[in-house]
């Protein structure tokens, strides 16, 4: 349950803050949110690291607050080689990052015939495993409300699953501010960004795309186009598979 000053974040006008705060104020706010949440949840606070640019920011911020903060990565058999290589480097550098995946058999090209089911099996289920096995009571994500049409309806601190708080500490950041932070702090990023990608996922479902919607290159040609894999929209404390 969210208590104290963290509970106040549920009433803020997100859009007003996105436009009203400058870069430095947003960094300060993000660090403060992680500090407050860590004080409340202690070791139960764990960062979900997708190996994308936003996660790289959140991981770097969290490590400034406390080097002991743990994290998890959910990977799939369809991650691009560049992401797998970057994952290996990050896990070597940060042994407190645990990797979760689901290797069960699935139908061929399930990503094309039923991407929702594919994401549920390969992404949502291992996320549930991570939350259960690491005793997570507050997970920290790199979700941002300016990323695309499916991400406008989130709060900085949420409790979509009762008993599991979600902190979105960079919810207010623009894409430009993410790159500003990464450049200023010389943070290593997934090499796929050099090829023009703006939002990263599994190779069959990720294309280079231009335009206002940062996630427009995800699941192109399917009903999920520009959408979500489910970890931010599905229940995560469901113990049943």
- Closest separation between CB of residue 54 and ligand SF4, Å? 16
Interacting residues with ligand SF4 between 76 and 135 (CB under 6 A): 76, 78, 111, 115, 118-119, 122-123
Least spacing, CB of residue 6 vs ligand SF4, in Å: 32
Kindly state the smallest distance separating residue 234's Cβ from ligand SF4, in Å.
12
Q: What is the DSSP letter of 31?
A: H
Nearer to ligand SF4, 26 or 234 (CB): 234
Q: Which is nearer to ligand SF4, 38 or 231 (CB)?
A: 231
Nearer to ligand SF4, 30 or 76 (CB): 76
Long-range CB pairs of 117-122 (<8 Å, 24+ gap) are 119/224, 119/229, 119/230, 120/230, 120/234, 122/76, 122/77, 122/78, 122/202
Annotated catalytic, 229?
yes
Q: Which of 118, 119, 138, 229 is catalytic?
A: 229
The residue among 126 and 169 lying less far from ligand SF4, judged by its C-beta, is: 126
C-alpha–C-alpha distance, residues 106 and 86, integer Å: 26
- 44 vs 204, beta carbon nearer ligand SF4: 204
Is there binding between residue 204 and ligand SF4 (CB under 6 A)? yes
Total of residues contacting ligand SF4 (CB under 6 A): 13
CB of 203 to ligand SF4, least distance (A): 8
| Cα dihedral 232, 238, 102, 92 sign | positive
Closest CA to 172 of 164, 163, 181: 181
Phi first, then psi: give them for residue 165, nearest 5 degrees: -85, 145
Return the number of other C-beta atoms located less than 10 Å from residue 98's C-beta: 16
The mark string for 219-238 relative to ligand SF4 (x by CB under 6 A, - otherwise) is ----------x---------
Q: Is 73 in the site for ligand SF4 (CB under 6 A)?
A: no
Q: Rounded to an integer, what distance in angstroms lies between the CA atom of residue 163 and that of residue 38?
A: 16
Helix or strand run (H / E) with residue 93? helix 81-93
* Polymer length in residues for the chain: 241
Q: Which residue is nearest to ligand SF4 (CB)?
A: 202
The answer to the question of residue 205 lying near ligand SF4 (CB under 6 A) is yes
Shortest distance, position 226 Cβ to ligand SF4, whole Å: 13
The tokens describing 22, both together, are: 């400058």
What are 67's two structure tokens? Answer: 């080097």
88 contacts 75 by C-beta, under 8 angstroms: no
Which residues of the shown chain bind ligand SF4 in the complex (CB under 6 A)?
76, 78, 111, 115, 118-119, 122-123, 201-202, 204-205, 229
Catalytic residue annotation:
229
């Amino acid at each position: 349950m969210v208590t104290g000053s963290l509970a106040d974040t549920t009433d803020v006008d997100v859009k007003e803050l996105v436009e009203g705060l400058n870069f430095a104020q947003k960094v300060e706010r993000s660090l403060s949110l992680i500090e407050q949440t860590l004080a409340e949840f202690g070791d139960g606070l764990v960062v979900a690291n997708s190996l994308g640019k936003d996660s790289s920011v959140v991981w770097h911020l969290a490590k400034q607050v406390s080097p002991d903060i743990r994290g998890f990565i959910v990977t799939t058999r369809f991650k691009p080689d560049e992401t797998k290589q970057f994952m290996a480097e990050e896990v070597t550098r940060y042994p407190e990052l645990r990797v979760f995946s689901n290797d069960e058999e699935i139908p061929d090209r399930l990503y094309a015939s039923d991407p929702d089911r594919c994401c549920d099996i390969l992404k949502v289920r291992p996320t549930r495993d991570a939350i259960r096995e690491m005793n997570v009571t507050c997970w920290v994500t790199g979700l941002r409300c300016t990323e695309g049409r499916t991400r406008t309806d989130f709060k900085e601190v949420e409790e979509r699953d009762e008993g599991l708080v979600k902190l979105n500490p960079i919810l207010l950041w623009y894409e430009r501010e993410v790159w500003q932070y990464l450049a200023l702090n010389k943070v290593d990023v997934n090499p796929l960004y050099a090829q023009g990608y703006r939002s990263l996922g599994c190779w069959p479902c990720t294309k280079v795309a231009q335009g206002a919607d940062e996630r427009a290159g995800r699941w192109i040609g399917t009903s999920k186009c520009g959408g979500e894999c489910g970890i931010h929209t599905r229940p995560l404390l469901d113990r049943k598979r």
